[in-house]
Chains A and B, each alone.
Chain A
Amino acid sequence: MESNFDKIKKVMSENTDNQLPPELNWDNMESGILEKMSELQAVQTQDSSGKNRKLLIFSLTLLALILILNGIYFGKKLDVLAQNENLSIEQANEGFKIISINEKEEQLKENSYKNDSVFQITPLAEINYFGNRFETNTHQTNSRPFSNDLQKKDLLKPKANISLLTKRKKKRTNESSSSAPNEKSINSFPSFELRTGENLSFLPSINFSVANQPKQDNVPIPPLSIWNNSTNSYRLSLLGGVSFWNNGYGNTKPQRDEFESNKLSYHAGLNYIHTSKNGFSFMIGIQYQQMESRFDWTGIIPDYQLTLTDTILEISTDAFTGEQTEIRGDVNLSVYAERKIRHFNRTRIFQIPFAVGKAWISKSEKLQLDVLAGGSFNIMSNNAGRTFYQGEIQNYNSSSNNFLSKKMKFNTLLGGRLTYYLNSNLGIMTGFQFQKSISNWSIEQDIKVRPSWVNLSLGLAYYIDKK
């Protein structure tokens, strides 16, 4: 038969003696060719701008990751400062109760004008500021006395607005051990030195106000290391679990869906969440999704051709000697056959999920609920398997398939997670996440393939910093 195909090849490949139709003459074709050339050049320009867009998206993603890593690094640095500060405040707290720290000078002024009569400042509570805590102007304002009483008042918070102390590390830069109010010689009345000057607008925004109180042994110290709704926090979450997915074949059903059943799938991820002091969160991370399905196909082949090779065709017996001789050969049989194919398909996706949301914490400060909404990019995906498509069983993989696009996909994301804190830094977490592809996975016209999946996760949450 091969020789027959060789003849076909010879006939077809040398078949250039066609009579050209008149519309293919140069005069009739020239304008069309030039038009096509200009169209192609325009498309090439668009392609290059598309590549630039992809490069831009990649650069932005990279930048976001760098910023996050940067945030994590500085978050840890601030945590060290916070520990030093906790120590000094606890030591100072023996003899008096710290009543308030206020950030905004203007707010202080406003309050003091309204409530001048309720200041409780004892002569012993000498108000000082530690100049080296300020970022700027310390040399200008260092050790200068108050110019008048009004300025003193401006820096003090009225009792009516006193709230329980929490700390604001953000405004502090370089707290050295020598400058901290932790000298034991201060005894029960540590002194705060207020460094200020004539020009209040140059002052940094941290102000202490204190009230003298008799020593109380059982004054509760607020648990500063526990996150609450008025602090910023930075968390890392490591999670993994099961996924339930819908292949989203849409109107390609029943061609493909008829033979494929979705199986329990898996996911794992690492997220970074920044929760601001008002409870709003921003999440970004990396996530791996593995979707699995099983392909079962059964076909009836009524006249399957089976060739039996080297089969005994005939046994002849010699009439005189009685010796038997086997005659062997190949036999073609037409049989009724049922063909069953089972194959496990797999889609693997690496994603960058990102979301914004809101966080709440229980009164016991043990449970935290996060609700998140956003999206995710499939930065890398790999499809491999077998399917029945357009009347044909087809194998496909990432480098070769005729129905799934290789372009970057975008998904919407909704999620929630509940965290139980084992201690102030570490918690165990359960999570829920729903994703639905916005991008069409199909490369064929009029066919939409938009998979969706639900992830149920278990994981660990670790606070890298709270402030």
Chain B
Amino acid sequence: MIDSSIIDQIINKDNDAFKMMYQKCIRYVYSLVKRYVKNESDHQDVIQEIFARVFLSIKSFDTEKGDFKFWLRRLAINQCLQLYRQGKSPKQFVPIENANEIESGVVHALDELTKIDIQNNLSKMPEGYRQIFMLVVIDEYSHKEVGKLLNITAETSRSQLSRAKQWLQKKIIKIDKQKISFHGI
């Protein structure tokens, strides 16, 4: 994503390197922010915060030890969750009673679902579920790491993920049924 010479230039406070890095990384950062921050009006502010932190802490990044993309992703996600921790983004943990709504039946594969279907469903997912789903399933965080990031226990993270999956499963079944009935006509 970014080679070490650009990083060295940024450490030496080269403004052109700053700009170059921004332009190379902004799409990736934007896609992350869109996933974690629902409110579009917060996107610009969060992205500014992320890049400010990148520029300030890039000295701590060791090019030999890790991948810049991975480091940037961690930093960006952490910053997105900061909104949640500051209480700007309300927690929406779903009560246990509402979570146990598994519909029995065969679950169809997602093969027929489009990318837009997936994005729409994830955007509709309750905030508490969505964050944990994104962190664990998409960004491969462990439950222990999620616990630390969201100030919850690993058990809570596991149970929330399970419910998130159940929630998604239910939505997929609905879509699947709609498609079946459509094809049936």
Do A and B make up one complex?
yes
B97: Cβ under 8 A from any A Cβ: yes
A residues 376-414 with Cβ under 8 Å of B? Answer: 390-397, 400-402
Q: Which of A1-18 contact B (CB under 8 A)?
A: 1, 3-5, 7-9, 11-13, 15-18
A contact residues, range: 35 or more
State the CA gap A18–B40 with chains docked (Å): 14
17 contacts between A and B (CB under 8 A): A4-B109, A5-B165, A12-B138, A15-B31, A20-B27, A32-B44, A33-B48, A33-B55, A40-B56, A299-B97, A301-B96, A301-B97, A305-B104, A332-B102, A334-B104, A400-B152, A402-B152
Q: Considering the chains assembled together, what is the distance between the CA atoms of A197 and B158 in angstroms? A: 88
Partner among B28, B35, B44, B148 whose Cβ is within 8 Å of the Cβ of A24? B44
Please determine whether B44 and A23 come into contact, CB atoms closer than 8 angstroms.
yes
Residue among A11, A30, A41, A443 with the highest chain B CB neighbour number at 10 A: A11
Picked from A24, A299, A395, the residue with its CB within 8 Å of the CB of B155 is A395
**A444 located at the interface, meaning its Cβ lies under 8 Å from any Cβ of chain B in the complex:** yes
* Complex interface: chain A residues within 8 A of B152 (CB): 394, 400-402
B156 touches A392 (CB 8 A): yes
- The majority secondary structure among interface residues of chain B is helix
The minimal Cβ–Cβ distance linking B89 to chain A, given in whole angstroms, is 13
CB distance from A258 to the nearest CB of B (A): 14
We find that the number of chain B residues with CB closer than 8 angstroms to chain A is 59
In the complex, what's the smallest C-beta–C-beta distance from B122 to chain A, in angstroms? 7
The interface-forming segment of B3-11, B18-26, B60-68, B177-185 is B18-26
Checking A9, A29, A299, A394 against B44 with a beta-carbon cut-off of 8 angstroms, the contacting residue is: A29
Among A7, A16, A40, A395, point to the contact of B53 (Cβ < 8 A): A40
User: Of all chain B residues, which has the CB nearest A331?
Assistant: B104
Cβ contact of B48, chosen from A9, A29, A395, cutoff 8 A: A29
Interface residues of A (CB under 8 A from B): 1, 3-5, 7-9, 11-13, 15-18, 20-21, 23-24, 26, 29-30, 32-37, 39-41, 299-305, 332, 334, 339, 390-397, 400-402, 443-445
Q: Choose one: B94, B122, B151; the contact of A8 (CB below 8 Å).
A: B122
A40 to B138, CA, bound (A): 29
Bitwise, B32-72 to A at CB < 8 A (1) or not (0) is 00110000000111011101110110000000000000000
In the bound complex, CA of A333 to CA of B110 (Å): 25
B174 within 8 A of A: no
Give the residues in chain A near B94, CB-CB below 8 Å: 391-392
The listed residue (B23, B56, B110, B160) touching A37 by CB distance below 8 A is: B56
Which residues of A have CB within 8 Å of B93?
A: 390-392
Q: Which residues of A contact B34 (CB under 8 A)?
A: 18
Q: Is the CB of A8 within 8 A of B137?
A: yes
Tell yes or no: B78 within 8 A of A by CB: no
Contacts of B148 on A, CB cut-off 8 Å? 400
Q: Is the CB of B27 within 8 A of A4?
A: no
CB distance from A388 to the nearest CB of B (A): 9
In the complex, besides A301-B100, A392-B160, A393-B96, 13 extra interface pairs with C-beta distance below 8 angstroms are A4-B109, A7-B110, A11-B119, A12-B35, A12-B119, A15-B115, A16-B31, A29-B44, A29-B47, A36-B49, A339-B96, A391-B93, A394-B152
Known: A29-B22, A33-B55. A397 touches B153 (CB 8 A): yes
**Is B118 positioned at the interface, with any CB of A under 8 Å from its CB?**
yes
Given contacts A20-B27, A393-B96, A444-B87, contact A3 B109 (CB under 8 A): yes
Q: Least Cβ distance of A108 to chain B in Å?
A: 70
Q: How far is the CB of B49 from chain A (nearest CB, A)?
A: 5
Which of A4, A16, A18 has the most CB atoms of chain B within a 10 A radius of its CB? A4
